[in-house]
Amino acid sequence: MLVQIEGLSVFYSESRALNDVNLSIDSKSTGLLGPNGAGKSTLIKTILGFLVPSSGSVRIFGSSVHDNPIKIRQKIGYMPENDCYIPDITGLDFVSYMGELAGMPKDDAIQRAHEVLQYVNLGEARYRKIEAYSIGMKQRAKLAQALIHDPIVLLLDEPTNGMDPAGRQEMLELIREISTYKKIDVILSSHILDDVEYVCEDVIALDQGKVALEGNMKQLKSEHRFSYELRIKGDQKAYILALKENDCEVDIRSSVEIRVTAQDSTPINKNLFFQLAIETDVQIRHLGLVERSLEDIFISAVEQNQPSSYPA
């Protein structure tokens, strides 16, 4: 098991940042999803041992980070949400210095810094001062320093923060490649649903310090209710009434388009749509299954737990 968390609570003064969290993380790529303030960064810092739990326990690689912090952290690459740069040094100097802090000999750290900066597409900029970097370049430099010591797991806190669409896509491609081909486990924290859905196999959704949802992405989508998009011509009201009489939920999108959702996780027999169309003298111009998005699943989970603001 990569990370095992039991009964974890973390307090800041009288505020509870994490509330009795129980989790097991053992996937090549796991997303920590939730709005700002949900407890994602607190969870990552607690896993790293930067924060001491108010109650409960955290074990990584089978051990508590507080029992052997140096040995465990040498196996982890951490990309923090906030900037962590040393003023007036180049990208190469920054990344190589972080390698030395991770226990690498200086010459090895310098050689490896060249390699990881090239890998994150900062090879031509490695001799420039970091303060002259764009936001996207700074984010990639943070990823490079997390990779320099060849960790077996990466903890990435809001890795696309502040990036433009092109830079964000480049970062996500890098992270997915690292997880898929570099044999490095990735735990990615983000409030951006699309980022988690693009990169991760598993997802853990936090809301107000509690776990609202966890599981394999594909399995979670398959377990949720089936929806179908239809474009029809004819008596829409009669057709909708017939669908409702057959235990279907109907959302009217336009005068010709409706979305029909099953009341449980069982798919609707498509023959029903055509049979009711015949009975109500309606023509079906389009019928398609609507795949449940991570957004749909997350909103549903939060609503079931407690009212909460949804991340923008």
pLDDT in tens, the chain (312 residues): 799 999 999 998 878 899 999 999 988 899 999 888 889 999 999 999 999 999 999 999 999 888 888 889 899 999 999 988 888 999 999 999 999 999 999 999 999 999 999 999 999 999 999 999 999 999 999 999 999 999 999 999 999 999 999 999 999 999 999 999 988 999 999 999 889 989 999 999 998 899 988 989 888 876 667 889 999 999 999 999 999 999 898 989 998 999 998 877 678 899 999 999 999 999 999 999 887 677 777 777 776 665 444 343
For residue 304, the model assigns a pLDDT of 66
Nearest to 220 by CA among 311, 309, 157, 291: 291
236 and 202 in a common domain? no
217 and 229 in a common domain? no
For residue 309, the model assigns a pLDDT of 44
Give 101's contacts (C-beta < 8 A, 6+ positions apart): none
Name the residue range of residue 258's domain. Answer: 225-291
For residue 311, the model assigns a pLDDT of 40
For residue 303, the model assigns a pLDDT of 67
236 and 120 in a common domain? no
258 and 131 in a common domain? no
263 and 196 in a common domain? no
Supply φ then ψ for residue 264, to 5 degrees.
Answer: -135, -165
164 and 23 in a common domain? yes
* Inside any domain, residue 299: no
* Inside any domain, residue 57: yes
* Inside any domain, residue 300: no
For residue 312, the model assigns a pLDDT of 34
* Inside any domain, residue 311: no
What's the CATH code of the domain at 249? Answer: 3.30.70.600
What's the pTM value of the predicted model, to 2 decimals?
A: 0.78
Supply φ then ψ for residue 252, to 5 degrees.
Answer: -85, 120
Domain boundary among 165, 187, 221: 221
165 and 39 in a common domain? yes
Specify burial of residue 10 (Cβ count, 10 A radius: 0-12, 13-18, 19+).
Answer: buried
230 and 144 in a common domain? no
Q: What is the dihedral of CA 120, 104, 146, 26, to 10 degrees?
A: 120
279 and 143 in a common domain? no
172 and 264 in a common domain? no
Calculate Rg over the CA atoms of the chain. Answer: 24
Instruction: Give CA–CA dist 2/20, Å, rounded.
Output: 19
* Inside any domain, residue 243: yes
* Inside any domain, residue 307: no
Instruction: Give CA–CA dist 145/102, Å, rounded.
Output: 10
For the chain, what is the domain count? 2
59 and 191 in a common domain? yes
184 and 120 in a common domain? yes
* Inside any domain, residue 49: yes
Residue 229 contacts residue 259 (beta carbons within 8 Å): yes
